[in-house]
Structure 1
Amino acid sequence: MLDSFTPHGKHLIAGAWIASETTFTSDPASGPAHAYCVGTPDLVDAACKAAEEAFTTYGYSSREDRARFLNAIADEIEARGDAITLIGTQETGLPEARLNGERGRTTGQLRLFAEHILKGDYLDRRHDEALPDRQPLPRPDLKMLQRPIGPVAVFGASNFPLAFSTAGGDTAAALAAGCPVVVKGHSAHPGTGEIVAEAIAAAIESCGMPKGVFSLIQGGKRDVGQALVQHPLIKAVGFTGSLGGGRALFDLCAQRPEPIPFFGELGSVNPMFVLPEATKARGAEIGAGWAASLTMGAGQFCTNPGIAVIGTGPEGDAFVAAATEALTSAAPQTMLTDGIAQAYKDGKSRFDGRNAVRPLLTTDSEGRNAAPNLFETDADSYLQDHALGEEVFGPLGLVVRVTGPDDMLALASGFEGQLTATIHMDDGDTALGRRLAPVLERKAGRVLVNGFPTGVEVADAMVHGGPYPASTNFGATSVGTLSIRRFLRPVCYQNMPDALMPGDWG
């Protein structure tokens, strides 16, 4: 019965549910707490060795078999939909509609990758035929193909218990590429992770995949994460989380005897530029829309537009007034964890009492709830105070007022790397937009016009990444089919007969 669902709290290691001696207790927003086993470096070692063993067959499996496996995982997740929503809402405090939507996104990603690999374009096959009579030297026969890199470590995200966690985008992309996955589950939603792991285990069984193709290690302290990223059999890491935690893991990957790529998505303030003609025509409307985007999901999105850049004067004032009014009427929302709620309060305190910052709306958040806050500063003050540009994970906004186009361009140039940057413009803003767009494309992985960045479409053309500190690899994306390239590497085969080529060549 769904109303009596009780997790078993174990780790999944190569098809076996394994307990460990130490346990931790979950801290749900509502409903009962449960005990879960704590991960250990020994479990990491067992999972990684099983993943390497699985790679000897899974890495050479057919695209048809892997597509069937991905679709089976999606089917098994959907079959457990009610149980996932039940415990997911309890653990995270997210509303039922949000969890159901995120589950759809998760299964949609899996099916998208199944479709993508069947097309075969991602393999980037290239063939330079031999030219034995070429002078002054002959050319050998050269074939090139993208090949899976080996076992991949994935860290579950706190703010997306489904779409960026156990069977989320990183896992889907790695499995599609032919790479076994070892997941370190997030302690904010261990029950959700357990059910999804059960779905993957069922798909492994029904599709006859090697048991070590997937493992889930619950909980654990820093030694577990360190053991995972430094294990010699792990060949890449996918991570979504804080700048501090991600940077620490990134450094560990770089310090290995064999350094490996760390694909970390670390956060962003996602600046929004409201150009003069758009401000004049619909500044209040944009301000209200910004407030809605800022408070969506209690502001717990990596694409949350935390900064709005707009001109001084009465038209800019109308934008600020509308945003303030909308935020004032927004009710407090439950945050994902007590730690995230405290971090939000700490982030807000950075703005309190700062001479260059004017409070527009200040609230005192209580417990695990978060209420909106809004502040205002000018471009010069922002550029001189690095702390104003640090991400606050939650519904806090900063308005930066500029005196003209040159001020706006200087501010854009001063931003660090971002996941997104947004331009609100009308036809009369085209000349300024042409000056601004080249600056912003160097700063962000996704540049929007007349929209809000919350909500990331899972599609072929999507880029969810950006220059550091938004992510640790500006040439990669963690959303969309292009994300599969993180877990592939090009191999050139010289004078290799077709009989020895990987099956994907044919």
Structure 2
Amino acid sequence: MLDTSVFTPHGKHLIAGTWVSGETTFTSDPAHGTGYAFSVGTPALVDAACKAAEEAFWIYGSTSREARAAFLNAIADEIEARAEAITQIGTQETGLPEGRLQGERGRTMGQLRLFAEHILKGDYLDIRHDTALPDRQPLPRPDIKLVQRPIGPVAVFGASNFPLAFSTAGSDTAAALAAGCPVVVKGHGAHPGTGEIVAEAILAAIKKTGMPKGVFSLVQGGKRDVGQALVQHPLINAVGFTGSLGGGRALFDLCAQRAVPIPFFGELGSVNPMFLLPGAIKARGDALGTGWAGSLTMGAGQFCTNPGVAVVEAGSKGDAFVAAAAAALKGVAAQCMLTDGIAQAYEEGKSRFLGRPGVRPVLVSDSEGRNALPNLFETDAADYLRDHALGEEVFGPLGLVVRVSGAEEMEALARGFDGQLTVTLHMDEDDTALAQRMLPVLERKAGRVLVNGFPTGVEVCDAMVHGGPYPASTNFGATSVGTLSIRRFLRPVSYQNLPAALLPGDLS
């Protein structure tokens, strides 16, 4: 009987159904509780996992949609069976509250079940059929059928800020498995125990449904050589990544430099600007300031959709918005960040704003250790556009207000933003004309455009796009959340004049 209340990590890698120890270990650094020893990944382990994934693909890539849906649902069931233990180890490693881990676990299971439903419907296959026209002149037309087919083994890098929903069995893994692609996960060192217990759930589902053991592997820890070995392994056909711009760009370049380049689907974060239009500021500037503070500090600001920049006109109404935001931020208690490294990077990000020409401090706080306090700064449009560093993401509860002289400068500023995951318009009915003018600019800047809301949090559904123009992501035509994300791991194949006996099951 599975004990769902206690979990003690064994610290091994999962390679094709077998738990494997490494020659060296690292010790986890939890926010509280016991640190455990975990085996360090190596290029040799990556090679073994990739070879097992390739061998599994010859079976798994041809399984029925019904069989894959049952596998995805079984993974969700096994995660649910370990709910209490997952919350226990997850809160210890990350410092996230129990409620957040419970919600994220529900989202992770929901993603798996959503993909199970999605592939059963079959719409994602985009089946097309041009029947033969043997009598067509001047040339006959052959019978041609098209269907989407899985690409092969996929590498997934676990994210630091989502130990469940964007990690071992997260959105990238769920989409790849749904498509028919085996997965090799590079676990994140911030939460290796959480990764291990989720891998145990996946292994249990493999055994329950009779899937090939190489359909999933987890390699823990390791230095850059492990990540490099994974993205450059000749049997890997695509990479899913959620993380920093620097790390993601380095891996993207490695994928492009391969003898056979492969797509790198990197979600690299953004500052997610909000544009507060005059009518909205006049009607509810105080409330918007308070609401922004809540969104900015949610989860210690450790969300890739954190709205780090607010654009508002100069003048008394804008002043009231800034004052309300500052007052609300002052009341926010220190929050534990995911790792010491993230906390240090947050402090370094704050230091970029201190004493910088054109930047005025509104609220400056000194964080201690891993506990972060919010910070707020202000600049104007001209200085923001002149100083590119002001547009770089600070991962944490830091906000920047950009003041503009009016609608013309607001639109010019919008044109100057880099690619974003989200952009938000706060508007009233009187702002409609300005919003209409700005929308063609904003939809070119982001994958998701919001009105009168805050972007923190991403709905998992058919219509969601979590991606955007570079540097928000490395592929503007893709999303890492929602059912559309399955397209990253499929490619269209046409079959001309094939007899029914040779066609894939979805076409026969």
Pairwise TM-score range, normalised by the shorter structure: over 0.9
TM-superposition CA deviations, 1:461-481 (whole Å, max 9, x none): 000000000000000000000
C-alpha contact (below 8 Å) 1:156/1:164 kept by paired residues: yes
Aligned to 1:235: 237
Deviation at 1:211, TM superposition (A): 0.2
CA distance in 1 between counterparts of 2:421 and 2:5 reads 39
TM-superposition CA deviations, 1:295-322 (whole Å, max 9, x none): 0000000000000000111111110010
Alignment of 1:243-392 (within 5 A): 243-392=245-394
CA distance in 2 between counterparts of 1:367 and 1:8 reads 29
Aligned to 1:202: 204
Indicate the SS of the match to 1:399: strand
Aligned to 2:424: 422
- 1:268 aligned partner, one-letter code: S
The answer for unaligned runs of 5 or more in structure 2 is none
Alignment of 1:124-135 (within 5 A): 124-135=126-137
Indicate the SS of the match to 2:287: helix
- Sequence identity of aligned pairs in percent? 81
Say if 2:56 is the partner of 1:51.
Answer: no
TM-superposition CA deviations, 1:411-454 (whole Å, max 9, x none): 00000000000000000000000011110000000000000000
Deviation at 1:147, TM superposition (A): 0.2
- 1:135 aligned partner, one-letter code: Q
Aligned to 1:139: 141
- Aligned mate of 1:82, from 68, 76, 84: 84
TM-superposition CA deviations, 1:195-249 (whole Å, max 9, x none): 0000000000000000000000000100000000000000000000000000000
C-alpha contact (below 8 Å) 1:154/1:183 kept by paired residues: yes
| Pair 1:138–1:3, CA change in 2 (3 A) | closer
TM-superposition CA deviations, 1:333-392 (whole Å, max 9, x none): 000000000000000000000120000000111100110000000000000000000000
- 1:242 aligned partner, one-letter code: S
- 2:154 aligned partner, one-letter code: V
TM-superposition CA deviations, 1:115-153 (whole Å, max 9, x none): 000000000000000111111111111100000000000
Deviation at 1:3, TM superposition (A): 6.9
Alignment of 1:424-503 (within 5 A): 424-503=426-505
- 1:318 aligned partner, one-letter code: A
- 2:52 aligned partner, one-letter code: A
| Pair 1:109–1:291, CA change in 2 (3 A) | same
- Aligned mate of 1:95, from 97, 106, 119: 97
Aligned to 2:169: 167
The answer for unaligned runs of 5 or more in structure 1 is none
C-alpha contact (below 8 Å) 1:444/1:467 kept by paired residues: yes
Aligned to 1:504: 506
Deviation at 1:498, TM superposition (A): 1.6
TM-superposition CA deviations, 1:267-323 (whole Å, max 9, x none): 100000000000000011111000000000000000000000001111111100100
CA distance in 1 between counterparts of 2:323 and 2:6 reads 48
- 1:400 aligned partner, one-letter code: V
CA distance in 2 between counterparts of 1:3 and 1:489 reads 43
CA distance in 1 between counterparts of 2:441 and 2:388 reads 19
Say if 2:40 is the partner of 1:38.
Answer: yes
CA distance in 2 between counterparts of 1:267 and 1:170 reads 16
Alignment of 1:149-168 (within 5 A): 149-168=151-170
- Counting matched residue pairs gives 506
C-alpha contact (below 8 Å) 2:5/2:84 kept by paired residues: no
- 2:420 aligned partner, one-letter code: Q
Indicate the SS of the match to 2:506: helix
C-alpha contact (below 8 Å) 2:73/2:113 kept by paired residues: yes
| Pair 1:2–1:202, CA change in 2 (3 A) | closer
Deviation at 1:4, TM superposition (A): 5.4
- Aligned mate of 1:17, from 12, 19, 40: 19
- 2:277 aligned partner, one-letter code: L
Give the 4+ runs in structure 1 shifted more than 4 A. Answer: 1-4
CA distance in 2 between counterparts of 1:178 and 1:456 reads 25
CA distance in 1 between counterparts of 2:252 and 2:406 reads 39
Indicate the SS of the match to 1:504: coil
TM-score using structure 1 length = 0.99
CA distance in 1 between counterparts of 2:441 and 2:467 reads 17
- 2:279 aligned partner, one-letter code: E
CA distance in 2 between counterparts of 1:51 and 1:433 reads 49
CA distance in 2 between counterparts of 1:132 and 1:143 reads 16
Indicate the SS of the match to 1:489: strand
TM-score using structure 2 length = 0.99
Coordinate RMSD, CA, aligned: 0.7
- 2:287 aligned partner, one-letter code: E
CA distance in 1 between counterparts of 2:385 and 2:340 reads 32
